[in-house]
Amino acid sequence: MPRIAAQPFPFDFDKSRTGLVVIDMQRDFIEPGGFGASLGNDVSRLQAIVPTVKTLIEGFRRAGLAVVHTRECHRPDLSDLPPAKRDRGNPALRIGDPGPMGRILVAGEPGAEIVSELAPLPGEAVIDKPGKGAFYRTGFGDVLKDKGLHYLVFAGVTTEVCVQTTMREANDRGYDCLLTTDATESYFPEFRDAAIDMIRAQGAIVGWTAPTRDILEALND
Ligand code: TIU
């Protein structure tokens, strides 16, 4: 069985049941004028990991393994947007409002698209999700089952929000999960680091962690 030099201990996996889950690498979180910026965040921190995520995705494609992408977005009629999510806080623009990349966090708008460098290939699953976790009100679980996946490698943004929520949901459903430490980012570096620490604490209570280089090395074994 191939093995990733992971923390808190090695991650043994069956290649035929392993896939990459890339969370929410969308213009709305990564480019100026989108949802992330409307909340007052410096989006340049997230932009910086795009090349590393690209390397990771290309490594999985080269190995012939599944890549699944997610996008946080809402239906144009906002019927899947709870008022509690739209009305919270005092953002510059609210979800559904028109912005420089179209309506904020709405499916089909330019801002909801995955950044061009990381565009999904035809045949790769793209899961649109109204929540932070990818299992809530989506077909994500069925996609994982159909593809026969059990070992999930996670990348994307933001570490402590959508990535961690989805990893926790997957962990509770019996998947073995590993977070890529250098292909995930937060608007708050201390939150990224804390999320990484809490995921692998207590004997991998949520999952394992490893850098891209070590993951790709194991895929080539
Ligand atoms: N605001 C923030 O850090 N994240 C989100 O709202 N969504 C995701 O993490 N994708």
pLDDT tens string 135-150: 999 999 999 999 999 9
* Preceding omega of 70 cis (within 30 degrees of 0): no
On the question of pLDDT at 191 being above 90, the answer is yes
> Which position has the token pair 């919270």?
88
CA distance 3 to 116: 32
Query: Mean pLDDT score of the chain, rounded to an integer?
Result: 98
pLDDT tens string 79-96: 999 999 999 999 999 999
Annotate 28-57 with b (16+ C-beta within 10 A) or e (fewer).
bbbbebbbbbbbebebebbeebbebbeebb
Which protein residue has the closest C-alpha to ligand 1 atom 7? 162
3-class secondary structure, 197: helix
Does 24 qualify as catalytic in the annotation?
yes
Which protein residue has the closest C-alpha to ligand 1 atom 10? 162
Give, for 36, the enclosing helix (H) or strand (E): helix 35-38
Q: Could you please report the per-residue DSSP string of 180-208?
A: EEEEEE-SSHHHHHHHHHHHHHHHHSS-E
pLDDT band at 33 (very low <50, low <70, confident <90, very high): very high
CA distance 220 to 218: 5
pLDDT tens string 156-179: 999 999 999 999 999 999 999 999
CA distance 179 to 167: 8
Ligand 1 binding site (Cβ under 6 Å of any ligand atom): 24, 29, 39, 72, 132, 157-158, 161-162, 187
3-class secondary structure, 179: strand
Kindly name the residue from 24, 28, 128, 176 that is annotated as catalytic: 24
Kindly name the residue from 73, 129, 176, 177 that is annotated as catalytic: 129
What per-residue confidence (pLDDT) applies to 220? 86
Roughly how many angstroms between the first and final C-alpha of the chain, as a whole number? Answer: 9
What per-residue confidence (pLDDT) applies to 173? 98
Pocket test for ligand 1, best of 158, 163, 179, 185 (most atoms within 8 A of CB): 158
Does 147 qualify as catalytic in the annotation?
no
CA distances (Å), origin 17, targets 153, 175, 208? 11, 11, 17
CA of residue 157 to ligand 1 center, whole Å: 7
What per-residue confidence (pLDDT) applies to 221? 75
The larger pLDDT score, comparing residue 166 to residue 220, is at 166
CA distance 47 to 43: 7
CA distance 184 to 181: 6
Determine if the pTM surpasses 0.95.
yes
Kindly name the residue from 73, 128, 162, 176 that is annotated as catalytic: 162
pLDDT tens string 43-102: 999 999 999 999 999 999 999 999 999 999 999 999 999 999 999 999 999 999 999 999
Query: What is the atom index within ligand 1 of the atom nearest the CA of 36?
Result: 1
Query: What is the atom index within ligand 1 of the atom nearest the CA of 72?
Result: 10
Q: Spell out the residues 6+ positions from residue 135 whose beta carbon is closer than 8 angstroms to its own.
A: 141, 166, 169, 170, 173
